[in-house]
Amino acid sequence: MFLNFPTRMLLGLGVCSALSLWLSNGVAADRISYKDDVFPIIEVRCLECHKPGGEGYETSGLDLSSYETLMKGTKFGPIVVPGQAFTSNLMVLVEGRASPEIQMPHNKKKLTKPEISILRRWVNGGAKDN
C-alpha cells in the first residue's frame, strides 16, 4: 500500500457515501409494497383482532385481512387518505397521536419506528394495492 493515511480515509468516506446513497434510493417511498411490506406488519400486529370474529372487528367494523377491507375502513368510514399520512386515522392511531385508550395495537406494544415509517411511506405514496 503506497497510499498515506489521509488519502485512505478519503477513499473510505467516498465508498461510504456512495453506499448510503444507493441504500436510501433502494427504499424510496414509491417502492413500498402493500403485499410485501405493509401486509406482513398488519398480519403479525393487527390481524388477530381485526378480522371477522376478532374483538377489534366486532367493535369498530375494521377488517384488516385484505386491501379492499382495509381501504373500506371502520363502520364510520375510511382510515386511510391516500397521499396524506398525517390526516389518516390509521397513522394517528399507530403513532399514538390519539388518546392512549385507542392507540393501536390495542393494549399491546407500539409498532417499531421502522414499521411506522413503512406504513407512513406507503400511505404518502398513494396507498396502492401493489
Contact stretch for ligand HEC (CB under 6 A) within 3-11, 29-37, 99-107, 121-129:
99-107
Is 90 a residue that touches ligand HEC (CB under 6 A)?
Answer: yes
Chain residue whose CB lies nearest ligand HEC: 46
> Using CB atoms within 10 A of its CB, is residue 80 exposed (0-12), middle (13-18) or buried (19+)?
buried
Confirm or reject binding of residue 120 to ligand HEC (CB under 6 A): no
Instruction: State residue 100 phi and psi, 5-degree precision.
Output: -55, -30
Residue 108 found at the interface with ligand HEC (CB under 6 A): yes
Side-chain half-sphere exposure of 7, counting CA atoms within 13 A: 4
> Cell 457515501 sits at which residue?
17
Q: How far apart are the first and last CA of the chain?
A: 49
By CB under 6 A, tell whether 50 contacts ligand HEC.
yes
Binding site for ligand HEC (CB under 6 A): 45-46, 48-50, 55-56, 59-60, 62, 74, 79, 89-90, 93-94, 102, 104-108, 111
